[in-house]
Amino acid sequence: MNDAMPPRWILGGAPRPAAPLLYCFPHGGGSAAEYLRWARDVRNAETRVVQLPGRGSRVDEPVLTSMDALVGAFLDAAPPPGREPFVFFGHSFGSLLAFEITRALRAAGRPGPAHLVVSGYPAPHLPRTPSRLHQLGDRELMETVAGLHGGIPEELMACDELVTLAARALRADYEVLETYVHRPQEPLSVPVTVLGGTDDRVTAEQLDAWREVTDAHVTVRRFPGGHFYLRDRPAPVLRVLAGVLGAVAAGERNVPC
């Protein structure tokens, strides 16, 4: 991993060569643009946001619908190890993707993140209720996900063309989630910070279970709000990220949050 990754996969904030890199993995159906805004507020990192195929600047590319395909494509695009350290942050679907890429980097003998920050997603080894939301029609899919998690603007839902466009990426990500099979492995040796909303469907117990994926230090924090608590009140989340990045820059493994 380094800052020379092909631009179609990564959108970058302001260059900060002396700071750690912060890679952000968006939520299901999400685009890089929302998380790229963090670049101006997280000043002790150089922010890089992952742009998956089929959305944003890559809207004309085929979507990927399995975790293996996504992880494989990402690692194929990543150049040989270069600049370090770096931190992974993922929200919801992005948490699972960041976790699996971290494991894949380890399996390939390549440097991984110095810290993993996950948000709004149950620990990946927990049993899940089977669902087939990715098989719904465009509008039904969007309405169902909006009912479960919120976060979809009314203006988007009022436009059939935008619904069709947004549903394509969201359906692909839900197919990844709904066909995902967790493969037990040795725990990571990466510190993990786990974030969530107090009113989210993801419970405190599901967040706390992330402690089992690593033998390093784990911190769990919950903030007021639902699934998109970090959109409603970004400042506390950005402070946590700044603390993680500051500790990484200082070479610390335990992050007091």
pLDDT in tens, 83-138: 679 999 999 999 999 999 999 999 999 999 999 999 999 999 999 888 888 898 98
List the chain domain ranges.
Answer: 10-127+183-249
Q: Which residues are catalytic?
A: 92, 200, 227
Report whether pLDDT(163) > 70. yes
Q: 56-70, 73-87, 178-192, 203-217: lowest mean pLDDT where?
A: 73-87
pLDDT, position 81: 43
pLDDT at 257 over 70: no
- The rounded distance, in Å, linking the Cα atoms of 35 and 26 is 7
Q: Which residue has the higher pLDDT, 2 or 103?
A: 103
User: What's the whole-number average pLDDT of the chain?
Assistant: 90
CA-to-CA distance for 94 and 119, rounded, in angstroms?
8
pLDDT band per the 50, 70, 90 thresholds, residue 1: low
Mean pLDDT value of segment 61-73: 95
Mean pLDDT of 192-220: 97
Using alpha carbons, select from 181, 210, 189, 38 the residue that is nearest to residue 120: 210
The answer to whether residues 142 and 174 touch, using CB atoms and an 8 Å cutoff, is no
Tell me which fold the domain 10-127+183-249 belongs to: Rossmann fold (3.40.50)
pLDDT beyond 60 at 7 = no
Q: What is the pLDDT of residue 255?
A: 57
- Phi and psi, residue 241, nearest 5°: -60, -40
Report, as an integer, the average pLDDT of 26-40: 88
Rounded Cα distance between 172 and 98, Å, is: 17
Is the omega angle on the peptide bond into residue 124 within 30 degrees of 0, that is, cis? no
Give mean pLDDT, residues 210-220: 97
Between 129 and 195, the higher pLDDT residue: 195
| pLDDT confidence of residue 30 | 86
Whole-number pLDDT of residue 3: 46
Paired with 46 in beta bridges are 21
DSSP 8-state class, residue 241 = H
C-alpha dihedral over 113, 33, 19, 97, to 10 degrees?
0
pLDDT (average), residues 206-214: 98
As a whole-number percent, the residues of the chain with pLDDT over 70 amount to 93
